[in-house]
Structure 1
Amino acid sequence: MKPLILASTTQIAKSIPEPVQYALETLTVHRFKAHIVGGCVRDLLLQREPKDWDITTDATPQEIQRVFPNTLYNNRFGTVVVRHHDMELEITPYRSEGKYTDHRHPDAVTFGKTLKQDLARRDFTINAMAMNKSGRLSDPFYGKDDLKKKQIRAVGDPSERFSEDALRLLRCIRFAGQLDFHVEEKTWSALCQHVQDIHLVSQERIRDELLKILSSDDLFRSFYLLDQSRLLDEILSELSEGRGVAQNKHHIYTVLYHNIFSAQYCPSSDPILRLAALLHDVGKVRTKQGNGRDAIFHDHDKVGAHMARAIMTRLRFPNEDIERVEHFVRYHMFYYSVGEVSDKGVRRLLVRLGKEHLKDFFIVRIADRMGSGCQIEVPYKLKELWRHLEEVQKDPIDTRMLKIHGNDVMELLGIPPGPEVGRILNALLEEVLDDPQRNTREYLLERTRELYQGVA
């Protein structure tokens, strides 16, 4: 394996934005030590654009505020937020942390005296580097060498690092996937021994880390490591049920790896759509009948939709995201045979999905096909279904598209606003979905009378 070619000091100096240079220079002028630190240094060396710029210093929070007036400081970690030219910078004093009794947060945060103390508390060597305004690198744990070797290695004792904050288990695997690195042997061994510690981490933090993994270009590598370490069993046990479960003649991968490949090949960077692709066949194991090429998975879409909802509810996803994924999983098996499926059936699918989710539905369907390992191109039937769905969008598929509205119903029947008005409009829509030619004012008013009389 060839070592990575890292950026030079000259290249890095040119890449540091002016507001960051200003903050480093200002602290230095006031006789404080100041360094950019952590992920931004790693990204600069890898010739990537950092998303965040963190600065560490030997100044106390009060001293930082004296150097930079009108700043924000209201946290237990001593971080002062400095704004310069519409850019927010987080400046934090050197820190030294003690025990992590809850395996999530340090029991106490004390300000350290040296840069090395601050770097020693960090998770992995590639995140434990600092750089001053001149581009001089401070790297006491040889993170630069690990970058060249393309490896993730814990700072100090890996077992202690994972015990301090079990979210580091997921972070380790995410970095390995995002950077296409391997995990150093001792770090990997400790990670595998600590997988059950992930239950000490809040569901919200696990969710956020999963979304970062799902946003990666090579999410397959991360999920492969989640599987190999068995960390997957602890955070997405429903998904790991598919490990080693063969499918049928339409697939070459097991249920688990079909789901993972579907997420990898999802033609969208939206992590929620990738999650839908990841979970689309999660119900197969619980519905499998038979073995070999002719195995069937009757109602796995319905079972999977319930499972997807349960998974996302457990991980504290917003209701809007839960409903999107649940719908895509539920209807991903909509069967379309050219010349056999009626306009009525396609219209009803469109109603269930919602016109605004049509494109996303197709993205998940395409991901499913590409993840099968049998057929990479978008098949003819899917193209025809897309054409058919676009065509029926012109038809009335919503009560708002009917030729009469709630006010017409209330005026005709002499009834006040209420559930009865909605019931009648929905009944009319059902008839119009069967035959759009019925969407005339005359027909709908007549049917309104009949529907009301039938109940009265």
Structure 2
Amino acid sequence: MIDMKLMRTAKRILEKLESHGYEAYMVGGCVRDFLLKLPVQDIDICTSARPEQVMNMFERTVPTGLKHGTVTVVEAGIPFEVTTFRTEQGYSDYRRPDWVHFVDSLRQDLSRRDFTINAMAMDRFGRIYDYFDGQRDLKRKVIRTVGEPEDRFEEDALRMFRAVHFSGQLGFSVEPEVLNAIQNQRQLLEKVARERITQEFQKLMQAPFVEHGLRTLISSRIATDIPPFCYIQEGLNEASRYSMQGLTEPERWALLLCHVPGEHRMQFLRGLRLTKKFVKKVKRLLDILDSYESIVQAEQIPAYDLICLGEEDAVSLLKLNQLRFTQSLDINVEQQVKAVLKQLPIRHPQELCVNGKDLQTFLNRPPGPWIQKALNRLAKAVVEGKVANDPEQIRAYVMEDEHDE
């Protein structure tokens, strides 16, 4: 489950650091995912070499965070974050250390990390360095902090939300002592930049076991009184009951928010730092769900409504309503929508064989808002079989309609 080019390149970096007399290891999430046989997307490296020594050793480097000991080394076109062994002290903003101290001990470096499953290292021969029983916690499927959870969360309050995110990412349970600490210290999250919380929540909503993560979010009591999650408690309770594996990310957000009153939906969406494009997509899905609450089969969607919705949104509507009202998801829903659309004379209002200028010519009328209304009526008439999608037949239909009016 690991890109062999990525692994070979990482090993070359480790070997080069070692050849100059320094220790070097792969570290953190890449080791965790390697042991879990999950895809490894990137590899972080820790080393006893100081940042300036790393920069002198490799041709292509970027001083990503020299203050904290991090240099990005680019090898074979792949970026690797290489960070010097360090300890940290002072977290006046409950997020970042006030200062770091470089050390020569791998164990000291790993002891500053958040969770035991992220506090393991691996050398280039595949040997695992696990001082805090991370492998045992992987087998137990438990998220546990390195050291006292209260200390870890006071250092970096975002770690509380990271515990929730990892619960959804891995399907793991948060150790009771850690969960209790989150419940007691959750107010510290108000000191964290909203953008960082948004990032963690987005990762949760993309996660394979998102419903498990949402249940963890509920039990952590973060949603009880921490904005903007306090606005969507109803949605969390409802959405956590469904398996969301077959849903896209916007569909997951719509399922979460469709159980939330309208004003609270917007308070929540405005409270997070989301792109306008993403918010627009979620709001459209919510509007569709509000308009077609009881429809669970493609054949139930009126023909004109179906072509106005379009295939993508129609599929989303059916998937979400099937989950909400039947607690199951038909894997053939996309094919069903395609089949119904295929039977229609047009699949989109824009497929009409006449346009606004044609209507002006037929009726000898100036342009105006009437054109779009007339085109919509024509599209509805075509899909309902009242007139063929043929210029001459549409002309006759329009003239007769005008005469009747």
Same fold, TM exceeding 0.5? yes
The answer on 1:347 being equivalent to 2:340 is no
Residue 371 of structure 2: aligned partner: 425
Match of 1:115 among 106, 109, 117: 106
- TM-score when normalising by structure 2: 0.82
CA contact (8 A) 1:438 1:444 kept: no
- TM-score when normalising by structure 1: 0.74
The answer on 1:165 being equivalent to 2:165 is no
CA contact (8 A) 1:267 1:367 kept: no
Match of 1:261 among 235, 238, 241: 241
Write the letter of the residue equivalent to 2:50: T
Match of 1:236 among 207, 229, 235: 229
Residue 90 of structure 1: aligned partner: 81
CA contact (8 A) 2:28 2:118 kept: yes
The answer on 1:41 being equivalent to 2:34 is no
Q: How much does 1:329 deviate?
A: 1.9
Q: What is the 5 A alignment of 1:291-310?
A: 303=262, 307-310=264-267
CA contact (8 A) 2:319 2:329 kept: no
Residue 5 of structure 1: aligned partner: none
- Name the CA distance, whole Å, in 2 between partners of 1:384 and 1:134: 49
The answer on 1:325 being equivalent to 2:282 is yes
Residue 127 of structure 1: aligned partner: 118
Q: How much does 1:209 deviate?
A: 1.4
Q: Do the aligned partners of residues 429 and 389 (structure 1) sit closer, same or farther apart at CA in structure 2, a change above 3 Å counting? A: farther
Q: Do the aligned partners of residues 125 and 429 (structure 1) sit closer, same or farther apart at CA in structure 2, a change above 3 Å counting? A: same
Q: What is the 5 A alignment of 1:125-274?
A: 125-233=116-224, 234=226, 235-241=228-234, 256-262=236-242, 264-268=243-247, 270-274=248-252
- The secondary structure found in structure 2 opposite 1:47 is coil
Cα-Cα RMSD: 3.7
Structure 2 runs not aligned, ≥5 long: none
Q: How much does 1:105 deviate?
A: 2.0
- The secondary structure found in structure 1 opposite 2:62 is coil
CA contact (8 A) 1:404 1:445 kept: no
Q: Do the aligned partners of residues 432 and 56 (structure 1) sit closer, same or farther apart at CA in structure 2, a change above 3 Å counting? A: same
Write the letter of the residue equivalent to 2:107: K
The answer on 1:101 being equivalent to 2:83 is no
Q: How much does 1:18 deviate?
A: 0.6
- Name the CA distance, whole Å, in 1 between partners of 2:105 and 2:89: 16
Q: How much does 1:92 deviate?
A: 1.2
Q: Do the aligned partners of residues 370 and 102 (structure 1) sit closer, same or farther apart at CA in structure 2, a change above 3 Å counting? A: farther
- Name the CA distance, whole Å, in 1 between partners of 2:182 and 2:265: 27
Structure 1 runs not aligned, ≥5 long: 1-10, 243-255, 284-302
Deviates more, 1:109-118 or 1:126-135: 109-118
Write the letter of the residue equivalent to 1:187: V
- Name the CA distance, whole Å, in 1 between partners of 2:396 and 2:27: 71
Q: Do the aligned partners of residues 414 and 150 (structure 1) sit closer, same or farther apart at CA in structure 2, a change above 3 Å counting? A: closer
The answer on 1:80 being equivalent to 2:41 is no
The answer on 1:395 being equivalent to 2:339 is no
Q: Do the aligned partners of residues 439 and 179 (structure 1) sit closer, same or farther apart at CA in structure 2, a change above 3 Å counting? A: closer
CA contact (8 A) 1:432 1:439 kept: no
Write the letter of the residue equivalent to 1:274: R
- Could you report, residue by residue, the CA deviation over 1:314-364 in whole angstroms, capped at 9, with x for unpaired residues? 2122222212222222222514599x97x8x4413542x344433333332
- Name the CA distance, whole Å, in 1 between partners of 2:126 and 2:169: 25
Match of 1:66 among 30, 50, 56: 56
- Name the CA distance, whole Å, in 2 between partners of 1:434 and 1:206: 45
- Name the CA distance, whole Å, in 2 between partners of 1:384 and 1:32: 58
Write the letter of the residue equivalent to 2:246: P
Q: How much does 1:37 deviate?
A: 0.9
Q: Do the aligned partners of residues 95 and 393 (structure 1) sit closer, same or farther apart at CA in structure 2, a change above 3 Å counting? A: farther
Write the letter of the residue equivalent to 1:395: I
Q: Do the aligned partners of residues 182 and 397 (structure 1) sit closer, same or farther apart at CA in structure 2, a change above 3 Å counting? A: closer
What percent identity do the matched residue pairs reach? Answer: 30
- The secondary structure found in structure 1 opposite 2:241 is helix
- The secondary structure found in structure 1 opposite 2:213 is helix
- The secondary structure found in structure 2 opposite 1:96 is strand
- Could you report, residue by residue, the CA deviation over 1:12-38 in whole angstroms, capped at 9, with x for unpaired residues? 9x9981101101101000111111111
Q: Do the aligned partners of residues 350 and 207 (structure 1) sit closer, same or farther apart at CA in structure 2, a change above 3 Å counting? A: farther
Match of 2:46 among 56, 59, 72: 56
